[in-house]
Structure 1
Amino acid sequence: MASTTCLHALLILTLQLCFLSNSQAAKHSHSSSTSRSGRHHHHSSSSSAFPNPKLHQAYIALQAWKKVIYSDPYNFTTNWVGPSVCNYKGIYCAAPPYDHTIKVVASIDLNGGDIAGFLPEELGLLTDLALFHLNSNRFCGIIPQKISNLSLLYELDISNNRFVGPFPHVVLNLPTLNYLDIRYNEFEGPLPSELFSKKLDAIFVNNNRFTNVIPPNFGVNSASVLVIANNNFGGCLPPSIAKLADTLEELLLINTSLSGCLPPEVGYLYKLTVLDVSYNNLVGPIPYSLAGLAKLEQLNLAHNMMSGVVPDGVCCLPNLANFTFSYNFFCEEEGICKNLSSKGVAFDDRRNCLPDKPLQRSNKVCQPVLEHPVECFEQHCNSSGVGGGSGAFASISSAMPVAAPLLSPSNAPSYT
């Protein structure tokens, strides 16, 4: 009971902080939504049954939503009956910044409900919503356009559902959005460049069906976490990634069909703790600039076509705990790289071209690669494969194993 009370108190505190940080937007939302409230009529409860018009609007929205929920195995919405919406399971109320004498619906948390249905346009009536969490359900269809009315929305998590269609551009119209998680759905097509122009702290778009290339303005936002793994982008990692130097802490680009060389600008990300570019088509050497990532804890370069020397400067990083560079074509390890276990670093150097190391590639496979070193300054990016690489890499790429998908959000360990 004590832990439940503390959790509820923490949630209310989080909501109040979200409200306070967006008070100016709240005033606008209040005035616009009040004018809208007069155009909506109650369905089964008189407006006089509600403490304020905002809760009446919430009732209309939640009842409309309940009607398009087809399966609710854990009975999340069973008690969504009557005007006391603040007592509905998964619905949390708090005082908005523009009026501390009332309560409004400030948060929805239906995570792990296994609920099937879709999202109705009436959800746009919840104009004071700050947190919207629907992780691990079976919601399908597209994201309704009326979601753009949620001018105070701070966190949107619709991950691990069955949403479809192109990237939901409506989220780009949410002025106070800080956290976006749309992973493990069926979104497809290109990522809009506008996504990386928004001031978002965390972006999770992994495990969808996004294609095309990573937008060239990839690094112009202020994110601390970027996860775009398990999509089919192709092309190179844009040098603009350097613009995230003051904020980015975790960058996961697993299995995104990246090609070309890893740009030296990655080494400018001095706050980085996690860098994972495994299961791609990257070629060339490890940029020595990575030796400047003093906070780096996890580095995964596995299952690419990189070659050259594993530099001592990277192996000596003070916080490095796990370094995986297996299934590449590295031919030499400098200094401490030859014995990372003595430094307490977990490592995997299998299936390279390292002399006197076990479980390496055969000389027949390694020799063509070693005879045609990749010059990164000659590389030219494209969206269909390795840009400017030698024929030796092209012939080997077909034998590279396919990446396993990341764990679903309900099972995956948190990186944050």
Structure 2
Amino acid sequence: MEIFNISGMRVIELLGNNLTGTLPLNIGSMLPNIEGLFLISSMHLFGTIPHSLSNCSKLIYLDLGNNRLTGLISNSLGYLTHLKYLFLEGNYLISDTTLSFLTSLSNCRHLKLLEISGNPLNGVLPISLGNLSGTSLLHFKASNCIIKGEIPREIGNLSSLIDLDLSGNGLIGSIPTTISNLRFLQLFNLSHNKLSGFIGDDLCKLQNLGYLHLTQNQLSGSIPNCLGNLTSL
């Protein structure tokens, strides 16, 4: 895909078309002033996410979801320090086993939404997940990503979350008690994993919870009576 003479553009929105080809390798120099790039659901964009995209230092909205993009999610996305919304869902993107790109995104202190669902990441959630912008991150969606290992306790640092979806992965271990720190959480989906242990009373502290999905795990014991106090559930 070739685009010319658009260096002054601030927003490009090409949703739901049949675009084909790859993103220009020099996209960072072509769009120095871009603040919003929306190429969602074109279904025919392939290739990798160019490293030069990290030079788009004014970028606030980046939506490349539901295409056929491949390759590593680059740690260079962490240079986009003004980024608020990042949509990469529904591609074929991968990462290293430590999902280090999540660590790099801790530099994006204004990040509100991170949507990476449906990519074969095949890694383990890092402890540094808790360093994502805890005071601004509202939505974290990473369903069906072949994520393994345990949910780190540090996830409780994301105190502003209202939507947490880690369903359809291979997560093991128990539900961290630190989930109780997510007092604004409204949607919590851990279904279709391999989680074990009990459903603790910690969930009863989530007074804003409206949706709780724990289907298809290996949880045991009884359902806490105090869940009945969650009037929004």
Given the two structures, how large is their TM-score scaled by the length of structure 1? Answer: 0.52
Contact kept? 1:309, 1:334, Cα under 8 Å:
no
SS at match of 1:170: helix
Closer, same or farther: CA 218–174 of 1 in aligned 2, 3 Å: closer
Query: Which one of 201, 225, 229 corresponds to residue 335 of structure 1?
Result: 225
Aligned: 1:262 with 2:143: no
> Where does structure 2 lack aligned partners over 5 or more consecutive residues?
none
Distance apart, 1:175 and its partner CA? 1.9
Distance 2:170 2:35 in 1: 36
Higher relative contact order (CA 8 A, sep 6+): 2
> Where does structure 1 lack aligned partners over 5 or more consecutive residues?
1-118, 346-416
Query: Which one of 129, 140, 153 corresponds to residue 34 of structure 2?
Result: 153
Distance 1:218 1:324 in 2: 29
SS at match of 1:251: strand
Greater Rg over alpha carbons, structure = 1
What residue number does 2:78 align with?
196
Distance 1:263 1:256 in 2: 16
Closer, same or farther: CA 172–256 of 1 in aligned 2, 3 Å: same
Q: Which has the higher helix share?
A: 1
Aligned: 1:238 with 2:132: no
SS at match of 1:180: strand
Distance 1:335 1:273 in 2: 23
Distance apart, 1:174 and its partner CA? 1.0
Distance 1:181 1:121 in 2: 18
Distance 2:41 2:52 in 1: 19
Aligned: 1:271 with 2:160: yes
Amino acid of the structure 1 residue aligned with 2:100? P
SS at match of 1:139: coil
Distance apart, 1:188 and its partner CA? 0.5
Given the two structures, how large is their TM-score scaled by the length of structure 2? Answer: 0.90
Amino acid of the structure 2 residue aligned with 1:179? Y
Q: Identity, % of aligned pairs? A: 27
Distance 2:23 2:156 in 1: 37
Query: Which one of 29, 49, 55 corresponds to residue 173 of structure 1?
Result: 55
Distance 1:186 1:290 in 2: 34
Aligned: 1:247 with 2:132: no
Contact kept? 1:281, 1:305, Cα under 8 Å:
yes
Distance apart, 1:120 and its partner CA? 1.8
Most deviating of 315-324 and 270-279: 315-324
Contact kept? 1:121, 1:146, Cα under 8 Å:
no
Contact kept? 2:140, 2:165, Cα under 8 Å:
yes
Query: What do the CA deviations read for 1:56-91 (whole angstroms, capped 9, x no partner)?
Result: xxxxxxxxxxxxxxxxxxxxxxxxxxxxxxxxxxxx
Question: Where in structure 2 are the equivalents of 1:354-369 lying within 5 Å?
Answer: none
Report the aligned-residue RMSD.
1.6
What residue number does 2:114 align with?
226
Contact kept? 1:191, 1:215, Cα under 8 Å:
no
